[in-house]
Structure 1
Amino acid sequence: MTVHRSRLCHIIIDCNDLDAATEFWSVALGASEEPIAEPSRQVYRRLKLPDADIRVLLQHTDDEKASKERIHIDLETDDVEAEVQRLEALGAHRWDHQQERGYDFWVLRDPWGNEFCVLQTEFPELLARRDPWLCEGLTP
């Protein structure tokens, strides 16, 4: 049996103009931009909501909306593999393993084909507030 925590940490919004999207969503949500690592600023901007611990992450893409979701969620966890296995047991399936810009995470699809990500801990102090999952039969 493994014990680990997970929580919703990001809602991702795809856009093709990070500056304009940052301005729009900051005003629309009453959010403030949080600093992120400089190499990631070319692809991402992170917004802190005034009344929630969930962040909005703006992600640059030139893709036209055709099949990829324009908004998806990120789940952070202190054990990526255990969380992926827990979600697979609920009906999700692995779609894409990403290893970019110092991050190692999984893109999963829910039973209806919607994409979401399972990534390493981003906000340890918030994750620590969550009750751990107890997953029978999973290897540590």
Structure 2
Amino acid sequence: MACRISELVIDAADAERLAAFWCEVLGYVELGREDDGSIEIGPPVAGFGGPQPTLVLSPSTDPRRGKLPLHLDVSPTDRDQDAELERLLALGAKPVDIGQTGAETWHVLSDPEGNEFCLLRARIAPA
């Protein structure tokens, strides 16, 4: 038997802001809140346990120690990469320079708290 990723937990200085950002990026909705201020977001129909993992934005005041060892890759579902890049920038994503050559087929961005993610070129079907 195998496992599958059911949720990703991300420490956040401002869980509300990060949850709102990622809901807009991914088309997710708020699924629940915990007493500690954590906010779980996920696909509107499937929710937890569906084919896509949920995200849990967990409030933290711990100082960040450099670059996260994990980042998310996202792909556009209903528009081309250029249009999706414009949308993500309008939502508050910022371009990040990690030494790209300019020949890459992806864009490196960061969310409002500086967590890096990549926008891939390949368009995929919505889940």
Task: Classify the TM-score, shorter chain.
Answer: 0.3 to 0.5
- With structure 1 as the length reference, what TM-score do the two structures score? 0.39
The two structures have a TM-score, normalised by structure 2, of 0.42
The higher radius of gyration belongs to 1
Which has the larger strand fraction? 1
